Structure 1
Amino acid sequence: MKKWVKILLFSLLGVTLLIVGVIGFGYYKYWGKFKTNEEKYPHYIGYIDQESALLNDKYELCGDKHIAFTYNGAAYRAYYKSKKIFRKNILNDYQNKGFSDSGYLNFRFLVNCEGQAGWFEVIEMNLNLEERELEPEMVNQLFSLTAEARHWNKLDYEGTPLNYYMYISYRIENGEIVEILP
C-alpha cells in the first residue's frame, strides 16, 4: 500500500474515534448517567458535617480546606509507620474494663495537614449491622485512642500538604477488639 493511503486511513480512523468519543461523552453527560437527588444527598461521599462532628473545634483544616481521599479514605498511607504498628498500639493501650458488648464501632474523621485527627463521626452497630449504642466508656476509650496524633501521617501531594478523610472500624466481641478495618 502506498504511503499516502496509509496516512489517509489513519487520519480517517483518528477523526472517527474523536467523533465517537465526543458523542459518547455527550450521551453520558446528558442522558446516560444516573440522576442524583440533590435534596436528599446534598454532599459528596465521605462528607462529615464539621459543625456537628466531635473534636471539631480543636484543630484547623489547612490551606483551602480541601479534603483528599473522600471516597475511600487514605487507608494505608495514613498510618504513622504502618497499620501493623497502629493495631499493636491500640491493642496494647485498650483496656477491657469488664465490657461485654459485641458489635462494630466506626469512626469517620478528618486529619489535617499537620497529622491531627478531628471532626469525628461515630457510628455504633451490633454484629448484624443494626445501629445500636455500645458501652459509652468503651466508645470513649477507643475514640481517645483513635484520635491520638501519633497514629496519623502528614500527607502531601507534590509538596502541597493535604487534609484527608479517614475511617476506622473496630469489630468487638464480648468487649475485646477482634479486628481493625481497613
Structure 2
Amino acid sequence: MKKSFLTIILLLSIFWSCQTEKKVNEKEEYLRWVGDIEHNPQIDEIDFKVCNGDNKILQYFNLGEGPVYRGEKSKILNTFKSKYQPISDKNKNGLIRIRFIVNCKGKAGRFRVLQSDYDYQEKEFDKETVSQLLNITKGIENWEVYKSYEVPVDYYMYIIFKITDGKLTEILP
C-alpha cells in the first residue's frame, strides 16, 4: 500500500513538471540569459542593428578572449585616461559597469549602466561621472568583428570602471 501511494505521488509530480503547454497570449517573462539587452526605442540609437537576431548574440564568456578591441586594452586605457575628467569627492567610491552589444560590423550599441558600491550594493553616482564614462565608451569605434566558423557574429561586451574618491582608478576586464 505504501509503495503504491509513493508511486502515485511520483507519477503525479512527473506529470505536472512535464507540462509545457502555454496560453496563446502568454508573453515570455524571462530573457534568454541573465543580462541580455532588449532593444529599447526610448534610449537606443535607431540605426544600431544586430545582424543575427537577439537570440543569437554571444555572451562575452563565449568568446574566450576578453575584450576584442583593435589596439588591445592599452588603447582603451589611454582613451579614458585622456578624456575622463575626475570629479574629486571622498564619497564617490564604487563600480560603474557599462554593458553593450557589438554587432557583426564592429559597431557598438544598446548601452546599459549598472552602478554599485564595492560590496556590489546598488548605488547611484552623480550624473556627470556616469555621463562622461558612457559618452567615452560610446565613442570607441575600434571593436573587432568576431567570427564564429568564419561568420561574423554579434556579441556582448562590458567595461567596469573602479572609482575611488571620484577618480578613475581601474578599468576591467
Shift of 1:71: 5.5
Shift of 1:110: 0.5
Given that residues 67 and 163 in structure 1 are in contact (C-alpha distance below 8 angstroms), is that contact kept between their aligned partners in structure 2?
yes
Bigger Cα displacement from structure 2, 127-136 vs 142-151: 142-151
Q: Distance in 2 between matches of 1:156 and 1:86?
A: 22
Given that residues 105 and 124 in structure 1 are in contact (C-alpha distance below 8 angstroms), is that contact kept between their aligned partners in structure 2?
yes
1:115 matched to 2:106? The reply is yes
1:147 matched to 2:131? The reply is no
Q: Superposed, which structure 2 residues align to 1:38-53 within 5 Å?
A: 41-51=30-40
Q: Distance in 2 between matches of 1:73 and 1:136?
A: 32
Shift of 1:92: 1.5
SS in 2 for 1:76: coil
Output the amino acid matched with 1:48.
I
Any stretches of 5+ residues in structure 1 without a counterpart?
1-29, 31-38
1:130 matched to 2:130? The reply is no
Point out the structure with the larger helix share: 1
Which residue of structure 2 aligns with residue 85 of structure 1? 75
Which residue of structure 1 aligns with residue 51 of structure 2? 62
Output the amino acid matched with 1:115.
G
Normalising by structure 2, we get a TM-score of 0.71
Q: Distance in 1 between matches of 2:151 and 2:145?
A: 11
1:95 matched to 2:85? The reply is yes
**Structure 1: which 4+ aligned runs deviate by more than 3 Å?**
39-42, 97-100
Aligned-residue RMSD, C-alpha? 2.5
TM-superposition CA deviations, 1:78-114 (whole Å, max 9, x none): 2222012211211121111445511100111101112
Output the amino acid matched with 1:106.
R
Report the structure number with the largest CA radius of gyration: 1
Shift of 1:133: 0.8
Normalising by structure 1, we get a TM-score of 0.68
Q: Once the two structures are aligned, what percentage of the paired residues are identical?
A: 29
Any stretches of 5+ residues in structure 2 without a counterpart?
1-13, 15-27
SS in 1 for 2:66: helix
Given that residues 53 and 119 in structure 1 are in contact (C-alpha distance below 8 angstroms), is that contact kept between their aligned partners in structure 2?
no
Shift of 1:169: 0.7
Q: Distance in 2 between matches of 1:53 and 1:107?
A: 18
